[in-house]
Structure 1
Amino acid sequence: MNVKVLLFSLLPITANAQGFAGLGTAAEGFSVPQPGYAFAFPADHGAHHDYRIEWWYLTANLQGPDGTDYGLQWTLFRSALAPEAGSGWGTPQLWMGHAAVTTPDNHYVSERLGRGGIGQAGVTADPFSAWIDDWELSGDWTNMQMAASGADFAYDMNLTAQGPLVFHGDAGFSVKSAEGQASYYYSQPYFDIAGVLTLPQGDVPVTGQAWLDREWSSQPLGANQTGWDWFSLSFDDGAKLMGFRLQQTDGDHYTSATWIAKDGQATPFADGAFQAVPLTTNDHGVPVRWQVTLPAYGVDATVSAVNNHAWMATSVPYWEGPVRVTGSHNGRGYLEMTGYE
C-alpha cells in the first residue's frame, strides 16, 4: 500500500513496540505527513531523509510463451535512526531489499540488507536510480530498467509507462487509522513490462503489467494496528482498484481504497467503503481467497492466489503474491498480507 513491510527489523525496537513491526511508535524528531502537500518531481521520486520510513515497491503479473503465469516483486525499503542523511558509516540510513519470483508451484525469495552512505544502497532522484548491491531500478519513470537475483532466480526487465501517476487518499495524503496516522502515497500502475526470468529450469521470456508504489511516512500505523491486507487489482475493462484493510487488536478493521478509471482518474474512498472478507486459508492459516467489494463501482469479486504458499521468509515475514479476480469484475493483481506469522 503501500504501507509495506518495513525496515523496523533493522532498528532497535523493543518487545513493547506499538503497531505492526513498530510502525505505531511515536515519530519524535521526524517529519510527519500533513494534508495539502505539493508533490514535486523528480525530487519526490527520491529519498526523504527527514521521514523515518520509505519504500519503492514494484509488483508484476507476467506470462511466459506457453501461457504459464508468473509474479515478480522488487522492493527497496529505507529506514532511519535519525532524521538526517549523514555520511559514510556514520549515516543513520538503513536499507533493505526484497526480490521474489512466484510460479504456480514455487516461490523464490531473496533479501539484501545495507547501510547508506557507503555506496552499498541508496536512491537518487535525478537521474532516478534505486539500488542495493547489484539490484537496481532506474529510469525516468516513463522508461525503466530493473534487475535482481537470488540463489535460485534472477530477472532483468524493461518497463514502459502507459498511463499517469495516481495519487491515493486526499491528493496523495493517505490516512491509515481513525486517529489520523498517514503517509504520502502515489503509484504508477500502468507499466508494461517485458524481460527474462532466470529460473532453475532455465531462462523464460515474459511479458505483462507492473504496478510501482511510492510511500513515505514516520508513523503510518496506530498503536492498535497489527497488520494489513493490501490489494492492487487490474481489471480486464481497464479500470483498477487499490484497497487495504488494516487489522486492529479489537477485531475491527480500518479500510481505504482508490478506484482508478481507465483514463487514470482516481476516486478515493474512506474507511468502510471498501471491504475484504477472507474465504479460504492455506495450511498455515493465511487467507488465500477473498471476497472484495466496493459497492460504489459495483465490485463484488473473488480474489484468489496463483500460489497459496507465496510466503516471504524475510527479516519481517509476510505473504506476497499474484492473484486472479473473478465475479463482477475479472482481472489480475497482487496481494500482500502481514500479521499472520
Structure 2
Amino acid sequence: MRHARIGASSAPRAGLWLGALLTLLAGCGEPAPPPAEGFAGLGSEAEGFVAAEPGTPLRFPEDHGPHPDYRLEWWYLTANLEDAAGEALGVQWTLFRQALSPPQQPPGKRREPSGPWAAEQLWMAHMAVSRGEGHRVAERFARGDSHETSPERDQAGVTARPFRAWLDDWTMASRVEDPARDALDRLTVSARAGTGDDAFGYRLDLRARGPLVRHGEAGFSQKSADGQGSIYVSQPFYEVAGEVTLAGESHEVSGRAWLDREWSSQLLGPDQTGWDWFSLHLADGHKLMAFRLRGGGEAGGDYLSGTWITPAGEATPLAPDALRLTPLERRPVAGREMPTRWRLELPERGLDLIVAAPHAERWMATTVSYWEGAVRVSDRDDGTPLGEGYLEMTGY
C-alpha cells in the first residue's frame, strides 16, 4: 500500500469522538494534549501517521479490519426500520478507534504505554434506538494495549478474518462462510443498554443486495478545496430483519441499512466548523451520499461533495458544483437551532428534493454531542414521497 506521512487531511463523522477520547485519556492519568484548532480540536497535527491520499489501493477483506497506521477510523451503521404495524423506528450502531501514537514512530518520540491505564488504542461505541418522539442513546469506552485484537482477550477491537467488530457485548459480526463472497455481505448487529422497563437495544440480521461502494476517486473522498480527504467505503444495500427492544418491549422489524467505513489521520482544518451528512435510499433504487463541510471551500465558503449510486452499485462522484444543500427550517433541539428541513438539488440529474426530519428530538447526548436521525425525502414541487435515509449534523 502506498503510504504518505500526514501533513494535513480531513474527514467528517469521526470528529464526534476525538474530544471524548481525549477527555477519557486526560481523566486516567495521561497528559492531555494542548488545545487544537477546528471543530472539537480536529485541527491538531498527526505527525508520523499515514495520510489519506488518492491512489491508495483497497484490498478486501483486509480493509474491513483496522488500519493502525492511520490515527482515526470508524464502522458506522444507520438503519431505517418499520415494525409489524408499519411504525417507523431508527437504529444506530457505531465503533470508533483512535491510535495514541504511530506504530512506526522513531524511538524517543513514541508514547510508550505504561502504568495501569496504559493503552495504544482507544475505542468508543455509540448506539441509539428511535421511535416517534422517543430517542434512547448509550455510549461505551474501552482501551487496547495492542494493534492486534482478539474477541477472547480484548474488551474492544476489530478483526478482518473473520470480520468482527465489538466493544463488550455490542457486536457487528459477519455470517459469511463462502470465501468468495465479501465478508460484509451478511452481518449480525446487536447492542443493548438499560434494564427492565428501561431496556433498549436490538439484534438485526443484515443481507447486502448490492456491492460495496467506493466514494470519491476510487475510495479517496476529498473533504476540502485544498485536497485533504479520507478513505471512504460504504455498503448501502442492506435489507434488515430482526428485533428492536424499546421501553422493555420487543418489536419485530424490517427495513434497510447503510454501513460507512472511513479512515484518516487528521480530520478537520482550522476553518471547518462542522458538517451536515446525508445517506439517502431513493424509491427508484438509487442511493445518494452527500455532505456539506462548513468551511474548507473556495474563497472560505463551504465544501460540498457526494456520490450518486445506481441500483446496480455503480458510483458517480459529485463535484462541489454539482450539488446544492440549503437549510430551509430550523427547530430548537437541546438548546440549539438545528436545520431539520433541507433543500437538496442535483441540477444535472433534474432532482430538486426536500429532505426533512419527521422528529427533531434526535440529539445524541454523548460525551461529544451531535444530531443523528432519520429523514424523509420528497419532491420539492409536488411533495411526492421519494425515499428515506439518515442525517447527521455536528458543530451546532
TM-score of Structure 1 vs Structure 2, range by shorter chain: over 0.9
One of 121, 125, 129 as aligned partner of 2:156:
121
Q: 1:13 to 1:269 in 2, by over 3 A?
A: farther
Deviates more, 1:240-249 or 1:230-239: 240-249
Structure 2 residue 305 is the aligned partner of structure 1 residue 256: yes
Match of 2:179 in 1: none
Question: Residue 89 of structure 1: CA displacement?
Answer: 5.5
Matched AA of 1:266: A
Please tell me whether the aligned partners of residues 74 and 100 of structure 1 are also in contact (alpha carbons under 8 angstroms): yes
Larger proportion of strand: 1
Match of 2:13 in 1: 3
In structure 2, C-alpha distance between the alignment counterparts of 1:89 and 1:163, rounded to whole Å? 43
Question: Residue 24 of structure 1: CA displacement?
Answer: 2.3
One of 320, 326, 330 as aligned partner of 2:386:
330
Please tell me whether the aligned partners of residues 83 and 254 of structure 2 are also in contact (alpha carbons under 8 angstroms): yes
Matched AA of 1:147: S
Structure 2 residue 289 is the aligned partner of structure 1 residue 270: no
Please tell me whether the aligned partners of residues 12 and 268 of structure 2 are also in contact (alpha carbons under 8 angstroms): no
Q: 1:68 to 1:113 in 2, by over 3 A?
A: same
In structure 2, C-alpha distance between the alignment counterparts of 1:201 and 1:286, rounded to whole Å? 30
For residue 348 of structure 2, give the secondary structure of its aligned residue in structure 1.
helix
In structure 1, C-alpha distance between the alignment counterparts of 2:368 and 2:327, rounded to whole Å? 22
One of 36, 55, 67 as aligned partner of 2:55:
36
Deviates more, 1:305-314 or 1:55-64: 305-314
In structure 2, C-alpha distance between the alignment counterparts of 1:212 and 1:309, rounded to whole Å? 23
Structure 2 residue 347 is the aligned partner of structure 1 residue 295: yes
In structure 1, C-alpha distance between the alignment counterparts of 2:227 and 2:312, rounded to whole Å? 30
Please tell me whether the aligned partners of residues 378 and 386 of structure 2 are also in contact (alpha carbons under 8 angstroms): yes
For residue 20 of structure 2, give the secondary structure of its aligned residue in structure 1.
helix
Q: 1:201 to 1:3 in 2, by over 3 A?
A: closer
Q: Deviations over 1:18-58 (max 9, x none)?
A: 22222222111111012111100111000001111000000
Question: Residue 8 of structure 1: CA displacement?
Answer: 3.4
One of 86, 99, 102 as aligned partner of 1:67:
86
One of 184, 191, 213 as aligned partner of 1:148:
191
Q: 1:55 to 1:201 in 2, by over 3 A?
A: same
Q: 1:331 to 1:13 in 2, by over 3 A?
A: farther
Q: Deviations over 1:65-98 (max 9, x none)?
A: 1110011000000011112399895332000000
One of 199, 207, 217 as aligned partner of 1:160:
207
Structure 2 residue 269 is the aligned partner of structure 1 residue 222: yes
In structure 1, C-alpha distance between the alignment counterparts of 2:49 and 2:102, rounded to whole Å? 6
In structure 2, C-alpha distance between the alignment counterparts of 1:218 and 1:158, rounded to whole Å? 31
Deviates more, 1:87-96 or 1:219-228: 87-96
In structure 2, C-alpha distance between the alignment counterparts of 1:19 and 1:313, rounded to whole Å? 21
In structure 2, C-alpha distance between the alignment counterparts of 1:289 and 1:21, rounded to whole Å? 25
Please tell me whether the aligned partners of residues 102 and 307 of structure 1 are also in contact (alpha carbons under 8 angstroms): no
Identity %: 52
In structure 2, C-alpha distance between the alignment counterparts of 1:316 and 1:307, rounded to whole Å? 21
Please tell me whether the aligned partners of residues 55 and 78 of structure 1 are also in contact (alpha carbons under 8 angstroms): yes
Question: Residue 2 of structure 1: CA displacement?
Answer: 5.6
For residue 10 of structure 1, give the secondary structure of its aligned residue in structure 2.
helix
In structure 1, C-alpha distance between the alignment counterparts of 2:33 and 2:288, rounded to whole Å? 34
Please tell me whether the aligned partners of residues 247 and 253 of structure 1 are also in contact (alpha carbons under 8 angstroms): yes
In structure 2, C-alpha distance between the alignment counterparts of 1:14 and 1:325, rounded to whole Å? 42
Structure 2 residue 330 is the aligned partner of structure 1 residue 319: no
Q: Looking at CA atoms only, which structure, 1 or 2, has the larger radius of gyration?
A: 2
Q: Deviations over 1:85-139 (max 9, x none)?
A: 9989533200000000111211110000111236111000110000001100010
For residue 225 of structure 1, give the secondary structure of its aligned residue in structure 2.
coil
Q: Deviations over 1:291-323 (max 9, x none)?
A: 111112222111111320100000110000010
Match of 1:306 in 2: 358
Q: Deviations over 1:217-259 (max 9, x none)?
A: 0013222101000000110000011000001298721011100
In structure 2, C-alpha distance between the alignment counterparts of 1:320 and 1:214, rounded to whole Å? 17
In structure 2, C-alpha distance between the alignment counterparts of 1:181 and 1:220, rounded to whole Å? 9
> Which structure 1 residue ranges, 4+ long, deviate > 6 Å from structure 2?
85-88
Please tell me whether the aligned partners of residues 53 and 79 of structure 1 are also in contact (alpha carbons under 8 angstroms): yes
TM-score normalised by structure 1 residue count? 0.95
Alpha-carbon RMSD:
1.9
Structure 2 residue 190 is the aligned partner of structure 1 residue 138: no
For residue 272 of structure 1, give the secondary structure of its aligned residue in structure 2.
helix
One of 70, 74, 87 as aligned partner of 1:51:
70
Alignment of 1:184-195 (within 5 A): 184-195=231-242
For residue 189 of structure 1, give the secondary structure of its aligned residue in structure 2.
strand
One of 148, 158, 177 as aligned partner of 2:224:
177
Aligned pairs, number:
339
Name stretches of at least 5 consecutive residues in structure 1 with no aligned partner: none
